[in-house]
Structure 1
Amino acid sequence: EGAVYGVDKPLYSVLPDTDVRERYRTCAIVGNSGTMLSHEYGRQVDAHDLVYRFNQAPVKGYEMHVGSRSTYESLNGYWVKELLDEKRGYRWNWRSRDTGLIFFELFEPWAFIWKTKTQIVEKDRWWKQTYVRLRRMHPERKLIALSPQFVSWAYLMYRELRRRFQRMHLGRYPGEKPMSGFYAFFLTMQLCESVDVYGFAPYREPDPSQKGLGEAKYHYFDGAVPRPGSHSFDLAHYIYHLFALQMDHIRIHD
């Protein structure tokens, strides 16, 4: 449950001396949903003290809808590999010199359900080696590894809420793991006095019989589709709204 996490010497040597201590008054989490193209949230987003983005989602050409500022950016494993390959020609968008990159998959509690022991050990080794390598490649950048204890806590909350929803017959919610936005949601709740969430509308598979009626792309900037079975978008969306109903400082902008 994340109570114990092994840290080897190379990883320990690149960890910062202190935890991130910044606190913010207003924060905007900007998801990548295609629904963002239906709104002009740009100025509203940029007016926040902190703006949180994901996985190299572009802002150039979309400023009217998603804003232009970036304080933090979460990266999943795919985009971490792209960052490693930067020297071989991939043009990484650093956004700004002060934008911090957040790695939330160093510890993967969901892997103990979906993967073999060998896969877990290999992936754990890869993440540790990768974080060490990136810290040494980019010492001037803010590269932040989320606490394994925090990731485990958030995942267990997700799993427990899913269990309760299903026990109350509020639907069934398949999916291997929460999406990166789920962790960002709970992280900003700890960093910020108020949190505005944009672009987190749940993805719907296109219905051929309803072509062109209310369809929204998975991403506002490309034609990608999610890997089947990876996430439960509806469950996460319900959880965000559940917290917003109970906490006045959280607002969901669908």
Structure 2
Amino acid sequence: MINRRRALYLLYFLLFVLLCAVIYDTYKKNQARLRYRLRTDTEPPWLPDDTCRDVERKIGIANIKTFNSDEIKAQIQYLQRCPWSVNVSTQTALRTELQACCNAGRYFLVTQENTRIGDNITYETRKDKHVEVTKKLHEIFPKTSPFLNKRIRSCAVVGSGGILLNSSCGSEIDQADYVFRFNLAPMNYSKDTGTRTNLVTANPSILRQRYAKLNEERRPFMNLVEIYESALIVMPAFSFIRNTDLSLKAFYTLEDFGSRQKVVYFHPNYLENLALFWKEKDLEVRRLSSGLMIVSAALEICNKVMLYGFWPFSEDPNGKPIPHHFYDDELPNISQHNMPDEFFFYSQMHSKGILKLKIGRCF
């Protein structure tokens, strides 16, 4: 009698396991059908899960010294057809590395908290030159970093690549909790690039080339920055000696006009440490692009990082020519930066679930 009861229990258990397997298999198939339905007829279909894993593994173990641009472009196209999710453990590991070397939360910007009156700020590119922090200079620095002891839920880092044109990514970008932009990019492409800005970089060369070093063209400059709401405008005042006066002049111009925006400055020590960090990862460049600077900071201070407009090639994934920027075709300074190599790392971080790299349309 006992053996018969045990046999019956065993039979029930096996039937239960079989039922669970059938339910799980049905769930997986329904999820796959749902993913297909969520995509439009104009989109390529999702790739099978095993294909996605193979592509992710291939990029994840690749070496920057042996990977070429054509391979990067081909592989990232595949990854755009694979579901993406944050890999918390891998993301945390890289964040821990970045915090140990650079600590964006405290040192990304020059502040009154990390720089005292009487200190010397050494230039990032000239170790034999420095600026003494006077009381007047100290007063223009923010008291503390806006990112100190703070973690932002989701961040959109919006590059200026021509790949953004006709992307319809604007509404998706605007859903992020914090939006980074670059070089005072125009905001009249809202359908593709969004409307919100929390932080935007500004190269002093813009002030030289377009606004007469703010000697005569202050009002047009103010008209430009007004579109950025109350965003922080980040400038490399202490990277090159020639940048300092113009960067300070930008601060006082905004102050004189009672602007909602505020000029702040990259901390040169942060940028120097960040360059060493990526050099140890085998990124050989004369100087990091502002794109990689901001992405690196975002990886420290944001739980989820999404990249848009990062595509350093002259053709889109379908071979159609595109401008370098979504607003012009001015090429980067290749003597300073290596955008394709930086893009390799973005692709690799996407494959590992560290950040999401969006290429093409946002449907």
TM over 0.5: yes
Alpha-carbon contact 2:160-2:325 (below 8 Å) kept: yes
Give 3-state SS (helix, strand or coil) of 2:165's partner: helix
Distance 1:93 1:26 in 2: 24
Alpha-carbon contact 1:11-1:132 (below 8 Å) kept: no
Residue correspondence of structure 1 range 7-156 to structure 2 within 5 A? 7-9=132-134, 10-21=136-147, 23-60=151-188, 62-81=189-208, 82=210, 85=214, 86-87=217-218, 89-90=220-221, 91-103=223-235, 105-108=236-239, 122-123=241-242, 125-126=244-245, 129-130=248-249, 133-134=252-253, 136-137=255-256, 140-156=260-276
Distance 1:94 1:225 in 2: 26
Query: Paired residue for 1:209?
Result: none
Flag the 1:176–1:77 CA change in 2: closer, same or farther, 3 A: farther
Structure label with greater radius of gyration:
2
2:288 counterpart letter in structure 1: P
1:191 counterpart letter in structure 2: I
Distance 1:179 1:228 in 2: 10
Alpha-carbon contact 1:11-1:131 (below 8 Å) kept: no
CA shift digits 1:141-169 (9 cap, x unpaired)? 322212222211212223333xx36xxxx
Flag the 1:233–1:11 CA change in 2: closer, same or farther, 3 A: same
Flag the 1:125–1:46 CA change in 2: closer, same or farther, 3 A: closer
Flag the 1:225–1:240 CA change in 2: closer, same or farther, 3 A: same
Distance 2:170 2:229 in 1: 21
Displacement after TM superposition at 1:249 (Å):
4.7
Give 5+ residue unaligned stretches, structure 2: 1-100, 108-119, 122-130
TM-score, scaled to structure 2: 0.54
Query: Paired residue for 1:168?
Result: none
Alpha-carbon contact 2:187-2:193 (below 8 Å) kept: yes
Q: Which moved more, 1:15-24 or 1:124-133?
A: 124-133
Q: Which moved more, 1:229-238 or 1:77-86?
A: 77-86
Distance 2:251 2:339 in 1: 32
1:41 counterpart letter in structure 2: C
1:245 counterpart letter in structure 2: S
Distance 1:126 1:138 in 2: 18
TM-score, scaled to structure 1: 0.74
Alpha-carbon contact 1:11-1:128 (below 8 Å) kept: no
**Identity among equivalent pairs (%):** 20
Flag the 1:27–1:20 CA change in 2: closer, same or farther, 3 A: same
Flag the 1:26–1:88 CA change in 2: closer, same or farther, 3 A: closer
**Aligned residues, how many?**
223
Distance 1:59 1:17 in 2: 30
Distance 1:227 1:219 in 2: 13
1:69 counterpart letter in structure 2: R
Alpha-carbon contact 1:14-1:135 (below 8 Å) kept: no
Higher relative contact order (CA 8 A, sep 6+): 1
2:233 counterpart letter in structure 1: L
Query: Paired residue for 1:187?
Result: 297
Query: Paired residue for 1:200?
Result: 310
Distance 1:132 1:89 in 2: 15
Indicate which of 157, 160, 182 corresponds to 2:277. 157
Displacement after TM superposition at 1:129 (Å):
4.3
Displacement after TM superposition at 1:197 (Å):
0.3
Give 3-state SS (helix, strand or coil) of 1:193's partner: strand
Query: Paired residue for 1:238?
Result: 344
